[in-house]
C-alpha cells in the first residue's frame, strides 16, 4: 500500500525535474564549418576557424543594402593547438560549436613536420567528427579558408563538393576523411595519401566580397595533386597521370577520360571510363612477396578525331590495347615514384599481411626496404562497350 502511495509523488518529482536545463540557444553559438592548422615557426602554430554567418546564407530581402558574406574567419597563434584555438575563440562573443565541421585543411609546412598532433586532437574531442574531409594546402592553409567562393557561398562546402566531383569525374584526386588517415597511420602496411588544394590568384583579394560578385572569379581555391606521406610526414607531391595511377590501384576510379594518340596524325581519340574494377593480390615468389595488380576498365568512345572504322572489331581491339598501355604506364609510374619515396600509399603491406601472415611477420620490421624492392606486376584488361550514336567520324568538306 505504501508503494502505491509513493507513485504519485515520484511522478510529480519527475515532471518537475524535466526540461532543457543545459540548453544553449542557437544565437549563442558560432557554428564552425571548417578549420585549418599552419606552422608559423618551430613550436608555434596558427589555428583558423571558418564560422557560418547566418545573415550571409539566408535569402536576401528586397531593398536590403549590400551583401553579407556567408562566412567569417578568426585565428589564434600559440605553442600548442589548444592554446591557439582558445586565443582564437576570444575574438568572438559566442560559444564555438564544432560538431558540424566538414573540412580540415593542414598547411604544407605543418604537414612536412607531421600531422599526428592535429589528428590526436580530433580523436580526443567528443564534438569533432572523424568523417571530416582532409586536405593539404600547398602553402598556407589559412589562405584557403579566407578565400570566398561563388555559387556555393560557404567555401568549406564548395571544396568538399568539388572534392567529390573531381574524384568521381576526373580521377586525379582522392577523397579521404580523418578516420581513414588515422587508420593508415595506425597500420603497419599503409601510408596516407591526401589530396592537395591551393589558391589561384591573389590571396589578399580572395577575402573581399568583390571576389564573388564578378562574372569571372579572380581568386579561387582549386583541388590539385595528392600529398604522399611517409608515416605522418609529407614527403612528396604527385599530380596528373601519377595521381590517377594511385586511384587505379586503390580501385577509386569512377569516371575519367583517356587520350589515345593516332598512329600517323598528330591527333587524339578520347575514351571515357565509366566503370572500373581493380584487384590487388599478393603472390609469394621464391620466398619474396610479389604484388599482382589486375585492372578491368570499361569505357565508351567520346571523341573521334582520327580516320577509323568503328564498325571494324579489329579497330576496337586496337583501341583497347592502346588504352591498356596508357593505364599500365600510369600505374607503373606511380608505383616507381612511391617505391623511391618508400611510401606505401597503396596498402601493399596490408595485402601481404592478409594473404600470408607468416611472411608478413618476417618482413614487417623491414617493410620500408622490402616495399622499395617488391616486384609489382600490372595487368590491364580494357573493354570498350559503346561507340555512342555514330560509328564513323564526321567528314567535313573544306572549301
Locate the DSSP E strands across 213-289: 220-230, 233-238, 256-261, 268-282
> Is residue 185 located within the same domain as residue 278?
no
Classify residue 94: in a domain, yes or no.
yes
What's the pLDDT score for residue 172? 86
What's the pLDDT score for residue 63? 43
Q: Cβ distance 297 to 273 under 8 Å?
A: yes
Q: pLDDT by residue for the chain (399 residues), tens digit each?
A: 555 665 665 555 555 555 554 455 556 677 889 999 999 988 899 999 999 887 666 555 544 445 678 888 899 999 988 898 889 888 877 777 778 889 999 999 999 999 988 888 888 877 788 899 999 999 999 999 999 888 888 888 889 888 888 887 788 899 999 999 999 999 989 999 999 999 998 888 888 887 777 778 888 899 999 999 999 999 999 999 999 999 999 999 999 999 998 877 778 899 999 999 999 999 877 768 899 999 999 999 988 888 888 888 899 999 999 999 999 999 999 999 999 999 999 999 999 999 989 889 989 999 999 999 999 999 999 999 888 655 555 555 455
The total number of structural domains in the chain stands at: 2
Q: Which residues does 132 contact at the CB level (< 8 Å), separation at least 6?
A: 101, 102, 103, 104, 122, 177, 178
Q: How far apart are CA 277 and CA 252, in angstroms?
A: 9
As beta bridge partners, residue 96 has: 30
Classify residue 361: in a domain, yes or no.
yes
> Is residue 279 located within the same domain as residue 232?
no
- Which runs of consecutive H residues, i.e. helices, occur in the chain? 2-17, 54-57, 81-89, 108-113, 116-124, 141-146, 155-169, 178-186, 203-206, 210-213, 241-250, 313-341, 348-355, 357-363, 367-372
Which helix H or strand E contains 301, and what residues bound it? strand 290-303
174-208: burial string, b at 16+ Cβ within 10 Å, e else: bbbbbbbbbebbeeebbbbbbbbbbbeeebeebbe
Q: Which residues does 210 contact at the CB level (< 8 Å), separation at least 6?
A: none
> Is residue 258 located within the same domain as residue 374?
yes
Q: Which of 180, 214, 239 is the last residue of a domain?
A: 239
> Is residue 265 located within the same domain as residue 196?
no
CB atoms within 10 A of CB 272: 16
Domain that holds residue 32: 27-54+68-239
Classify residue 63: in a domain, yes or no.
no
Classify residue 59: in a domain, yes or no.
no
Residue 353: which CATH number?
Answer: 3.30.300.210
> Is residue 224 located within the same domain as residue 292?
no
What's the pLDDT score for residue 62? 45
Nearest to 378 by CA among 348, 340, 342: 348
Half-sphere exposure of 146 (CA within 13 A, CB side): 18
> Is residue 158 located within the same domain as residue 306?
no
Classify residue 21: in a domain, yes or no.
no
> Is residue 228 located within the same domain as residue 272?
no
> Is residue 233 located within the same domain as residue 339?
no
Classify residue 19: in a domain, yes or no.
no
> Is residue 229 located within the same domain as residue 343?
no
**Residue 280 grid coordinates:** 590487388
Classify residue 399: in a domain, yes or no.
yes
> Is residue 205 located within the same domain as residue 353?
no
pTM of the model: 0.86
Amino acid at each position: 500500500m505504501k508503494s502505491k502511495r509513493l507513485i504519485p509523488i515520484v511522478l510529480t518529482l519527475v515532471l518537475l525535474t524535466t526540461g532543457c536545463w543545459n540548453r544553449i540557444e542557437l544565437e549563442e553559438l558560432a557554428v564552425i564549418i571548417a578549420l585549418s592548422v599552419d606552422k608559423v615557426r618551430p613550436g608555434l602554430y596558427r589555428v583558423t576557424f571558418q564560422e557560418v554567418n547566418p545573415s550571409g546564407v539566408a535569402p536576401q530581402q528586397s531593398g536590403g543594402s549590400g551583401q553579407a558574406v556567408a562566412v567569417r574567419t578568426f585565428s589564434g597563434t600559440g605553442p600548442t593547438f589548444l592554446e591557439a584555438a582558445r586565443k582564437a575563440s576570444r575574438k568572438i562573443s559566442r560559444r564555438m560549436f564544432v560538431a558540424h565541421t566538414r573540412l580540415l585543411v593542414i598547411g604544407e609546412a605543418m604537414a612536412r613536420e607531421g600531422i599526428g598532433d592535429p589528428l590526436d586532437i580530433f580523436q580526443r574531442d567528443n564534438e569533432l567528427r572523424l568523417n571530416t574531409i582532409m586536405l593539404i594546402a600547398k602553402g598556407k592553409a589559412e589562405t584557403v579558408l579566407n578565400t570566398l567562393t561563388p555559387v556555393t557561398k560557404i567555401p568549406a562546402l564548395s571544396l568538399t563538393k568539388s572534392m567529390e566531383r573531381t574524384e568521381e569525374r576526373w580521377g586525379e584526386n582522392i577523397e579521404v576523411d580523418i578516420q581513414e588517415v588515422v587508420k593508415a597511420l595506425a597500420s603497419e602496411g599503409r601510408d596516407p595519401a591526401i589530396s592537395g588544394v591551393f589558391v589561384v590568384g591573389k590571396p589578399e583579394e580572395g577575402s573581399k566580397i568583390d571576389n564573388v560578385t564578378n562574372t569571372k572569379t579572380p581568386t579561387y581555391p582549386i583541388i590539385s595533386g595528392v600529398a604522399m606521406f611517409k608515416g605522418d610526414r609529407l614527403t612528396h607531391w604527385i599530380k596528373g597521370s601519377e595521381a590517377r595511377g594511385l586511384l587505379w590501384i586503390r580501385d577509386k576510379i569512377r569516371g575519367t577520360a583517356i587520350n589515345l594518340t593516332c598512329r600517323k596524325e598528330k591527333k587524339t581519340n578520347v575514351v571515357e571510363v565509366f566503370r572500373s574494377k581493380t584487384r590487388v593480390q599478393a603472390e609469394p615468389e621464391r620466398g619474396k612477396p610479389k604484388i599482382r595488380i589486375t585492372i578491368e576498365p570499361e569505357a565508351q568512345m567520346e571523341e573521334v578525331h582520327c580516320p577509323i572504322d568503328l564498325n571494324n572489331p579489329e579497330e576496337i581491339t586496337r583501341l583497347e590495347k592502346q588504352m591498356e598501355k596508357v593505364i599500365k604506364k600510369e600505374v607503373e609510374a606511380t608505383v616507381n615514384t612511391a617505391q623511391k619515396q618508400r611510401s606505401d600509399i597503396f596498402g601493399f603491406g596490408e595485402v601481404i599481411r592478409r594473404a600470408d601472415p607468416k611472411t608478413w611477420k618476417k618482413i614487417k620490421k623491414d617493410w620500408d626496404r622490402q616495399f622499395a624492392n617488391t616486384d609489382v606486376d600490372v595487368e590491364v584488361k580494357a573493354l570498350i562497350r559503346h561507340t555512342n550514336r555514330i560509328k564513323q567520324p564526321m567528314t567535313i568538306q573544306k572549301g
